[in-house]
Amino acid sequence: MSSVKKYKCLHCGAGLEFSPSDQSWKCHYCYSDFSIEEVENAYDEDELPDEDQPELDSYSCNSCGAELIADDTISATFCLYCKNPTIIKNRFSGRFKPQLVIPFNLTKEDAQKIYTKWIKKRIFAPKEFKSKDEVDKITGVYVPYWLFDCEIEGMIEGVGTKVRTWVTGDLVYTETSYYNVLRDGSCRYNLLPIDGSKKLDDSIMEKIEPFDYKKMEKFSLPYMSGFMAEKYDVDSDEASISMKKRVQKFHEDRLKGTVKGYNSFKVKTSDARFNEIDEQYAMLPIYLLVNKHKGKDHVFVLNGQTGKVVGDTPIDHLRQFLFFGAVTLGSLLITLFGGALIG
């Protein structure tokens, strides 16, 4: 088994890439396109090995032979020299064998359009964020995700108050009654996503949710062709800690939501127990653009399935100053002009 994989067009031998607009594999050279069955059959897609495969010192492109530049976690990429899509098969094996994939639904051109529209509205963003070179850098990346199923049994206990006020003569009476309030309930949560990449900030990744899991497919290597992909560097145990925090908070809020009819309610103790936890390893699609500005990274992330966007840009203070300067000058002119008319 070769450690590096490339899917070639069955007609002309050029590199094949997954095309989100037709959900098939396209050759950009002779314009043929192929279904998943055709690609899998042609490549007699052997099951990815269940055992971890050794990391090699280096991987080379099997189109041009050049050494691939790929850091530890990159598992699908492009050859820097011949630009062919290449997949490091070892990094999709054993522990790193994904079970599921959500294929890209948006093309790179779609992503560029969405970014251009988004950045246009950010009038104080530095100019270079809007340049064509910058827009071209948007990359489709498959992010390693853990999808958790779990059952939680939660309990909250706290104090609720009811306040009654009345007036007798000159006196205002207030009576506060205290109640001990207890709520418990269990619930199942399915397909809760936690990203398995240290490079990506969890709070950013949460904002591009939800993904539509109805479009999820059984993982197959050809889906990776034409995109970057990462393997996880946060294992399922570590990810389950974040998952539990998220579920517990959510469940607690749901229990709190059932406490009604009090003037105030304060939680004193909260407890939760997880019964079953199952996880599946999945590759989910995003478009990513990292802008560097004055030594700080600014990230733009787009859900590659739904188009939901999250990002931040720095404020260019000079642009802001010039803008407010122009607005002030504009209103000054209006005042003067208006004044002149009245006079």
| CB 76 to Zn ion: min, Å | 14
- Tell whether residue 82 is a contact of Zn ion (CB under 5 A): yes
Minimum distance, C-beta of residue 87 to Zn ion, in the bound complex (Å): 13
Binding Zn ion (rule: CB under 5 A), the pick from 1, 21, 30, 327 is: 30
Could you give phi then psi for residue 211, rounded to 5 degrees? Answer: -95, 155
Distance separating alpha carbons of residues 303 and 111, to the nearest angstrom: 9
Tell the smallest beta-carbon distance from residue 62 to Zn ion (Å). 8
The two three-digit tokens of residue 168, written as one number: 């007798």
Q: Which is nearer to Zn ion, 5 or 251 (CB)?
A: 5
Smallest gap from Cβ 221 to Zn ion, in A, equals 18
Amino acid at 250: F
CB nearer Zn ion, residue 63 or residue 77: 63
Residue 12 in contact with Zn ion, rule: CB under 5 A: yes
Is position 4 an interface residue for Zn ion (rule: CB under 5 A)? no
Task: Give yes or no for a contact between 43 and 51, defined as CB atoms under 8 angstroms apart.
Answer: no
Q: Does residue 327 touch Zn ion according to CB under 5 A?
A: no
Residue 303, beta-bridge partner list? 286
Binding region for Zn ion (CB under 5 A) out of 4-12, 171-179, 216-224, 296-304: 4-12
| Amino acid, res. 125 | A
CA distance 283 to 196: 10
255 binds Zn ion (CB under 5 A): no
Does residue number 64 form part of the binding site for Zn ion (CB under 5 A)? yes
Among 63, 77, 197, 236, binds Zn ion (CB under 5 A): 63
Name the E strands within the chain. 4-5, 16-19, 24-27, 33-34, 74-78, 85-88, 100-101, 139-168, 171-195, 217-218, 228-230, 264-293, 296-303, 309-311
Number of residues that bind Zn ion (CB under 5 A): 15
Q: Is 61 in the site for Zn ion (CB under 5 A)?
A: yes
Nearer to Zn ion, 66 or 290 (CB): 66
Residue type (1 letter), 226: G
Give the whole-angstrom CA distance, residue 249 versus residue 333: 54
CB 63 to Zn ion: min, Å:
4
Alpha-carbon gap, residue 146 to 98, rounded angstroms: 10
Nearest CB to Zn ion, comparing residues 7 and 142: 7
9 belongs to the binding site for Zn ion (CB under 5 A): yes
User: Which DSSP string corresponds to 141-202?
Assistant: EEEEEEEEEEEEEEEEEEEEEEEEEEEETTEEEEEEEEEEEEEEEEEEEEEEEEE--TTS-H
Nearer to Zn ion, 48 or 79 (CB): 79
343 vs 340: CA distance, rounded Å: 5
67 contributes a contact to Zn ion by CB under 5 A? no
Is residue 31 within 8 Å of 16, Cβ to Cβ? Answer: no
Contact residue for Zn ion among 1, 21, 22, 29 (CB under 5 A)? 29
Determine, following the binding rule CB under 5 A, whether residue 69 of this chain makes contact with Zn ion. no
Q: Please choose, out of 9-17, 106-114, 155-163, 227-235, the segment that lies near Zn ion by the rule CB under 5 A.
A: 9-17
- Return the residues of window 137-196 that contact Zn ion according to CB under 5 A: none
- Interface with Zn ion by CB under 5 A: which residues? 9, 11-12, 14, 27, 29-30, 32, 61, 63-64, 66, 79, 81-82
